Amino acid sequence: MPLEAGLLEILACPACHAPLRQEADASGEATELVCESESCALAYPVRDGIPVLLVDEARRPH
């Protein structure tokens, strides 16, 4: 189940405050929220439909 659009509008990257975009798997389930800033680009996990917006939990870009 995708995250609500209203929620995505108010969430921001905790590290740089840039907007986040949702990444989903083939079924449409949200798996990550990815920072839209090219210099940051951290990917935050979504667990059980809840975004985990902790920098320590984020995946660094490859």
pLDDT confidence of residue 62? 67
Burial degree of 17 (CB within 10 A; 0-12, 13-18, 19+): exposed
Q: How far does CA 9 lie from the centroid of its chain?
A: 12
pLDDT confidence of residue 37? 96
pLDDT tens column, 17-52: 999 999 988 887 778 999 999 999 999 999 988 999
Comparing CA positions, the residue from 58, 55, 61 lying closest to residue 41 is 61
pLDDT confidence of residue 1? 60
Using the structure block, give the residue that is written with the tokens 């667990």: 47
